[in-house]
With several copies, the nearest count.
Chain A
Amino acid sequence: MKARVHVTLKNGVLDPQGKAIGNALHRLGFPEVGDVRQGKFIELEIEETDQTRAKARLDEMCRKLLANTVIENYRIELVA
């Protein structure tokens, strides 16, 4: 099974990368750009056929490693 995980910064947490991207876009002539936030997008293959179990395992992976839950949120998506 394939899974996709989005890791994003929590609201209120400063995002230096997002800010820098926003500034760079303004400089490059995209004044219409407002707030920019950058997150991570992780695609994983997992050997697991049961959706519920897969989800539970992925949740554990996120909490243990993929996201820093102090400052980040995560969202898990299972793909066929």
Chain B
Amino acid sequence: MKAAVVVFPGTNREHDIANAIALTSGAKPAMVWHGDSELPKVDLIVIPGGFSYGDYLRCGAMAAHSPVMREVKTRAEKGVPVLAVCNGFQVAAEMGIVPGTLMRNAHLQFVCGDVHLKVETSQSLFTNRYQQGQIIRVPVAHAEGNYFVDNDTLKRMEDRGQIALRYCGADGDLAAGNPNGSLRSIAGVFNETKSVLGMMPHPENAIEPRFGGTDGKALFESLVAAIA
């Protein structure tokens, strides 16, 4: 699996996710600077976490307009898989390659710590190594992860199975464990064709037993299985 990780000024989780990809796929991803207009031909594009442009104005807004993102959008429209995590999700939402938007956390604070997630489907490039309904534990770290989308779109997304992950309690209770006030506890969503996944939690920080557990690993293994 050949992957490219797009790096903006202020991105800071690019090494974490590059590591996770290298560890699971055996190949180091290419790091692509936002100013480059060339995006190598790859099987997977990753938009990593961080504070691109300081999260100023609106998180993700400035990065969404980086030169390289035009090409990312074109490729995404052609079906190249895109994994957009945390700030990457915010960027992807700003670009419109996944529906919805990420608002300030309802409690207005940055939140870092483990959350539980319910995997809503195993029928995707990103989740085929999980069981549908599986409860996993991975960390979050964000101040703007409060997912919002209008009712009509939400209904369509739910009908089409575009909800990838929801926050829940350790026992899968969807009424618990929402760390940021997200609508319907949504933690991750697909685009219509399920080739793009935007998610707030950090699977890349849950790949080693000593360092937050291994529940995030299957996400990368799913990609390797589906792509390579």
Contact = CB atoms under 8 A, between A and B. Distances in A.
5 contacts: A14-B103, A20-B107, A20-B108, A38-B57, A65-B61
A21 B56 contact: yes
Given A14-B103, A71-B148, A21 B65 contact: no
Interface residues of A, number: 20
Contacts of B106: 16, 19-20
Interface of A: 12-17, 19-21, 24, 27-28, 38, 40, 64-66, 68, 70-71
Contacts of A66: 57
B56 A17 contact: yes
Contacts of B58: 68
B201 interface: no
A27 B56 CA distance: 15
Contacts of B94: 68
B101 A24 contact: no
B146 interface: yes
B65 A28 contact: yes
B53 A13 contact: no
Nearest to A27: B65
Given A24-B57, A68-B101, A16 B62 contact: no
B26 interface: no
Contact of B105 (A12, A16, A28, A71): A16
Contacts of B146: 14, 16
Given A24-B62, A64-B65, A70 B101 contact: yes
Contacts of A21: 56-57
A38 B54 CA distance: 14
A17 B51 CA distance: 13
B150 interface: yes
B104 interface: yes
B181 interface: yes
